[in-house]
Structure 1
Amino acid sequence: MALMLLCPGQGNQHPAMFERLVDEPAARPVLEMASERLGLDLRRLGGPDDRLDYADNRTAQILLTAHCLALHAVLGKETGDICIGYSVGEIAALACAGGLDPLAAFDVIDARVRCMDEASRASGIEQGMMAVIGLPLARIIAFAEGAGLAVAIVNGPDHVVLGGPAETLAGIEGALVAQGARTVKRLPVRVASHTRFIAAAGPAFRAVLEGAPLHRTRKYMLSGIDGRSIASPADAVEALAEQLHTRLDFRRCLEMAGERGARCAVEIGPGHSLTRLCAEILPDVPVRPFEDFRSTSGLLKWIERAQQAG
């Protein structure tokens, strides 16, 4: 029975995210690598000496990648048959699929952040992102274009993430609610990822990826852009560079995972945002987030039961 691993994107990081992983021996190498990058022992996250800015682009991406890779190490590197990632989660998904080792993954994350931040600064505007739920897709696309924004991610038929100038995002919240949006929420992100506003980031990151130690994946990995398969290093270079400034259709990615045979799924990063999306798009696929469990052993038991039931 095909198990799908879901690697979330920015906005899910929080101070307590590693509480159930810090004492796991298999997680230690990954957590030590991430701690060195951040200059803070992740075992002390949320403590009195924690001065991390959780909305900072680099901090968030390292934390999310560390959680996914640490939990995957605990579950076992052969755990999972299909790997998909949401935004920065695609780097962790590639590593889980066997296309990148953990140390190289953190090097790639640092380069990704640098490319994104440089492109954002070069735009000359303060950027941000906003989740909007409750308006038909065609309508919100037209609204965004009219307001000078971009649809960065499609999560469902009435669920999108917008990106663009922070000032514009702040000015349209009332208008979106007035048009019938159920949810209008600014995200703790300061770069308009997956939009034209950081178009320069794609070519710069491509140059980095072309020199990275990428491998052919051992598991199915699907691109968040449109659900295309990522197998070869060339596939990974193309998809991961393109996604920085291209709209993601995560709904399509989940649909393609279902067609590939996903029969149960686990969100291996912090939070439960992808669990909700998976349950909406693939209602027949049992899905749970790691944060539902008190321990990794509890998650492993659930995976075993779910696969036996299938």
Structure 2
Amino acid sequence: MSSFWVFPGQGAQQAGMLHQLPDSSVVQGCLREAAEVLGEDVLALDSMSALQSTRSVQLCLLIAGVACARMLQQHGGRPDYVAGLSIGAYPAAVMAGALAFEDALGLVALRGELMQNAYPEGYGMTAIIGLDQASIEAAITRIHSQATPVFLANINAENQCVIAGSLPAMEQVGLLARIAGAATVKRLAVSVPSHCALLEKPAQALADAFASVRLEVPKVRYLSGSTARPILNVEKLRDDLAFNMCRVIDWRSTVQTAYERGVRLQIELPPGIVLTGLARKVFEQGTAVAFQGARLDSLVALSREEGTRHP
């Protein structure tokens, strides 16, 4: 039985999130490194206005995730598995020892720019809660066309999925979902249609940039948020990171895989608590907890307890 560190995706961002990170030498070191690599004041990335930019959002999620994970690591925490939802795959790969933080910063900056430039307006993502996947896919089939593109993007839980596409198409699918009994239909704070075929060209451009980046075999077991399977070699990791923007995310199966492999402690790195709530629906036994709002000593104690109980 093992521990699992997970990193959230776009939509989890919060204004001021970098300013609210713990006052720690490790955190400050991450912020300095990011500023040096990017050549800019990274603390300017988390303002309400800055977070209208996909690039800023994704960089904030990367920096916050790595900074807090390194802080937890410094105090004796150690993951047996890591995974990230969408952009969260990048801090997960860094903490798996497979991708240098410096390289991740450059790739994520480019990733955000590519996605933003491909669809600067008129597109996004919408969560549908309280309706099964088959019913959502049936609604998508009725609406999707070249003029009204809409796709299944994320499978988060048994009754929670996310769709991506043009705003009119998502509105029509949302209406059908409500008629079919959905409890909630909610636009997400994501301005691009992630995890669908609309992002195949930006993904290929990112893959081209990946060709010059050195990756290592993960030293911590890395689960793909797309396939929900462990990735054991460099080329598959390169493919997973470059193309996850245009592939459906199956987070439900990713968490299920971790549980089936003996994970009984999941720690969600900042920002947010959404992945913690999703994990509790899968973990019949064990603990799912978010770094945000928790005491550091409690997280470390949980990690050590799990490691001692299940070496």
TM-score norm. by structure 1 comes to 0.89
Equivalent-residue separation in structure 2 for 1:94 and 1:62 (angstroms): 15
Question: Is 1:196 the equivalent of 2:225?
Answer: no
- Aligned mates of 1:191, 1:243 — CA distance in 2: 14
Please give the secondary structure, in 1, of the residue aligned with 2:164. strand
Q: Note if contact 1:58-1:113 (Cα within 8 Å) is conserved in structure 2.
A: yes
- Secondary structure of 2:231's counterpart equals coil
The amino acid of 1:68's aligned partner reads G
Is 1:156 the counterpart of 2:157 in the alignment?
yes
Alpha-carbon shift at residue 155 of structure 1 (Å) = 1.1
Q: Is the 8 A contact 1:74 1:296 kept in 2?
A: no
Structure 2 equivalent of residue 107 of structure 1: 106
Q: Structure 2: any 5+ residue segments left out of the alignment?
A: 145-149
Alpha carbons of structure 1 residues 193 and 24: separation in structure 2 relative to 1, 3 Å: same
Distance, in Å, in 1 between the alignment partners of 2:48 and 2:125 is 24
Q: From the superposition, tell whether residues 286 and 194 of structure 1 become closer, same or farther in structure 2 (CA, over 3 Å).
A: same
Aligned partner of 1:85: which letter?
G
> Contact 1:38 / 1:59 at 8 angstroms: preserved in 2?
no
- The answer to whether the 8 A contact 1:7-1:68 is kept is yes
Matched ranges for 1:236-275 at <5 A: 236-275=237-276
Aligned counterparts of 2:215 and 2:128: Cα–Cα separation in 1: 35
CA contact (8 A) 2:264 2:286 kept: yes
Closer/same/farther in 2, CA of residues 117 and 16 from structure 1, 3 Å limit: closer
Q: Deviations over 1:238-268 (max 9, x none)?
A: 2122322111111111111122221211001
Q: Which residue identity lines up with residue 123 of structure 2 in the other structure?
A: Q
- In structure 1, what is the Cα distance between the partners aligned to 2:277 and 2:104? 27
**For residues 17-36 of structure 1, what are the structure 2 equivalents within 5 Å?**
17-18=17-18, 21-35=21-35
How far apart are residue 171 of structure 1 and its match? 4.2
* Distance (whole Å) between structure 1 residues aligned to residue 177 and residue 10 of structure 2: 23
Matched, 1:57 2:58: no
SS in 2 for 1:199: helix
Residue 143 of structure 2 is aligned to residue 143 of structure 1: no
How far the C-alpha of 1:306 sits from its partner, in A, is: 4.7
State the number of aligned residues: 302
Letter in 2 for 1:113: G
State which of 117, 123, 128 in structure 2 corresponds to 1:127: 123
Q: CA deviation at 1:16?
A: 4.1
1:84 matched residue in structure 2: 83
Q: What percentage of residue pairs aligned between the two structures are identical?
A: 26
- C-alpha separation between the residues in 1 aligned to 2:52 and 2:299? 28
- Rate the CA distance shift 1:21–1:298 in 2: closer, same or farther, 3 A: farther
Provide the C-alpha distance between the structure 1 equivalents of 2:166 and 2:213, rounded to a whole number of angstroms: 32
Measured on the aligned residues, the alpha-carbon RMSD in Å equals 2.3
**How is 1:222-237 mapped onto 2 (pairs within 5 angstroms)?**
222-237=223-238
The amino acid across from 1:304 in the alignment is: R
| C-alpha displacement of 1:104 | 1.2
User: 1:27 is aligned with what amino acid?
Assistant: V
Alpha-carbon spacing, 1:45–1:103, altered in 2? closer, same or farther (3 Å): closer
Tell me the equivalent position of 2:214. Answer: 213
| TM-superposition CA deviations, 1:121-177 (whole Å, max 9, x none) | 5xxx62100000111211101111221210001112221000000232234434322
Counterpart residue identity of residue 97, structure 1: A
Q: Quote how far apart the aligned CAs of 1:70 are.
A: 0.1
CA contact under 8 A between 2:224 and 2:254: conserved in structure 1? yes
Supply the AA of the counterpart residue of 1:223.
S
The residue aligned with 2:70 is 73
Post-superposition offset of 1:51? 5.8
Report the secondary structure of 1:203's partner residue.
helix
1:276 paired with 2:269, answer no
Aligned residue type for 2:69: H
8 A Cα contact 1:10 1:88, kept in partner: yes
The amino acid that maps onto 1:108 is L
Query: 2:129 is aligned with what amino acid?
Result: I
Preserved contact between residue 22 and residue 28 of structure 1 (Cα < 8 Å): no
Secondary structure of 1:60's aligned partner: helix
